[in-house]
């Protein structure tokens, strides 16, 4: 049902990855992307606890958190380029 909805409404191919029944560690494909993104979101204090009553408010908090994360990364990258350019003025 979710796979069909994602295909019809979002034009995405959603693949459900089942856990293995083996008791040992097994790497699941692309699961690390989801885990990493959730880890980044949980670093944002307002998202650590879900006190919001409206889903739209929660969505806005997630968008704000990811916008903050990306703007910090872009600013850090721009600063690093400027520092390199100042260190080598002849290049």
Looking at residue 89, what is its pLDDT?
64
CA distance 34 to 60: 19
Residue pair 86/72 in contact (Cβ under 8 Å)? The answer is no
Query: pLDDT tens across 15-52, in order?
Result: 887 777 777 777 777 777 888 888 888 887 777 777 77
Angle between helices 31-42 and 55-87 (to 10 degrees): 90
CA distance 74 to 62: 18
pTM here? 0.52
In this predicted structure, which of 2-6, 26-30, 33-37, 63-67 has the lowest mean pLDDT?
Answer: 26-30
Task: Please report, for residues 44, 73, 75, 86, 87, the alpha-carbon distance to residue 32 in angstroms, rounded to integers and kept in the order given.
Answer: 19, 20, 26, 37, 37
* Mean pLDDT over the full length of the chain: 80
Looking at residue 91, what is its pLDDT?
56
Q: Is the pLDDT of residue 57 over 70?
A: yes
């Amino acid at each position: 049902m979710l796979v069909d909805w994602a295909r019809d409404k979002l034009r995405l191919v959603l693949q459900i990855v089942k856990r293995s029944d083996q008791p040992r560690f097994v790497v699941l494909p692309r699961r690390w992307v989801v885990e990493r993104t959730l880890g980044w979101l949980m670093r944002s204090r307002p998202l650590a606890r879900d006190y919001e009553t409206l889903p739209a408010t929660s969505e806005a908090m997630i968008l704000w958190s990811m916008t903050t994360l990306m703007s910090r990364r872009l600013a850090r990258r721009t600063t690093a380029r400027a520092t390199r350019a100042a260190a080598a003025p002849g290049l």
